[in-house]
Amino acid sequence: MPQEGVEKMFAAARTRKVSEFMHRKVVTIDVEDSVEAAITAMQRTGYHRIPVVADGTPVGMITRHDLLRLMVGRLH
């Protein structure tokens, strides 16, 4: 892409708000929830990543890759 095109994209992006792109319904997993609850939430929503919270404060992120790695590790 020519430099001018990239500059126009960045200029347009500077005027946009995050709220235009974010999910309105936030799905989270509590640090005390089970792995099964995380898997169920991902299946239900189709999300690949879900924020993990403790007392309503974000403390991490759980991903499908994390869960797959956990399951594969148990097979060996």
* Confidence label for 75 from pLDDT (cuts 50, 70 and 90): low
- Model-level pTM? 0.68
Residue 38 burial (C-beta neighbours within 10 Å; 0-12, 13-18, 19+): buried
Encode pLDDT of 24-37 as tens digits.
788 999 999 999 99
Crossing angle of helices 35-45 and 64-75, in 10° steps, is 130
Extents of the domains making up the chain: 25-76
Decide the pairing of beta strands 57-63 and 29-30. unpaired
The CATH number assigned to the domain with range 25-76 reads 3.10.580.10
Encode pLDDT of 3-60 as tens digits.
778 888 888 888 888 888 887 788 999 999 999 999 999 999 999 999 999 999 999 9
